[in-house]
Amino acid sequence: MSNKIIIDPVSQLQRLQIVETTNSCVKKAGGIFNRHFSLLTIDFDLWGKCAGMYQVRGKKPRIRYNPWIFAKYYEESLTNTVTHEVAHYVVDCIWGIRHVKPHGKEWRDTMLAMGVQPVVTGSYDLEGIPTRQYRRYSYKCDCRNHDLTSLRHRKIVEKGAIYRCQLCHSPLKQCAAR
Ligand SMILES: [Zn+2]
Ligand SMILES: [Zn+2]
């Protein structure tokens, strides 16, 4: 059982779609609550059993998504997880995150106002989803940096596999060690 298959995280194009959906969800909330919410930072660096997380560091809010859970439950995550995390952000902006319960009345009312049932699930079947952080390898193409799993890295080094960037289609090359 040591040879577990890890599913591929969401693609670059899916990430763009998730960022766009999150941004339009923030704008939609602005219309509903009749106030301006700034767009926030979105990262895909969450792993383990949570699909998303709203976090404030210093004064900077950000949403972290789990790229494996999004890959496995794409449509569902695009609606439920995105609205779930944006609702945390909206609650933070209006009431202040420290003054209310995480999934309390304010959050539930916000979810309903956004048209999504306020269900806290977190009961995903995690098969194929890494539950600890795997070592990542830095690669780059002609347009950006890529983090590769050790599985892909090994395929390149040991088997001469070639992976191409989905945006610019140039082959990925390993960055010099940092
Ligand atoms: Zn939550
Ligand atoms: Zn590229």
Domain boundaries defined on the chain: 12-113, 136-174
Closest to 59 in 3D by CA, of 99, 35, 93: 93
Give the pLDDT band (50/70/90) at residue 133.
low
Ligand 1 center–CA 5 separation, angstroms: 28
Query: For the residues 99-126, what does the mean pLDDT come to?
Result: 89
Ligand 2 center–CA 78 separation, angstroms: 24
Instruction: Kindly state the DSSP code that residue 128 receives in the 8-state scheme.
Output: T
User: Is the pTM here over 0.85, yes or no?
Assistant: no
DSSP 73-106: THHHIIIIIHHHHHHHHHHHHHH-GGGS-TTSHH
Ligand 2 center–CA 162 separation, angstroms: 14
Ligand 1 center–CA 88 separation, angstroms: 7
Most confident of the ranges 3-12, 76-85, 118-127, 143-152: 76-85
Percent of the chain with pLDDT over 90: 66
Residue appearing with tokens 């060690």: 177
Q: Give the pLDDT score at 177.
A: 54
Q: Is the pLDDT of residue 49 over 80?
A: yes
User: What's the CATH number of domain 12-113, 2.60.40, 3.30.1330, 3.30.2010, 2.40.30?
Assistant: 3.30.2010
Ligand 2 center–CA 122 separation, angstroms: 34
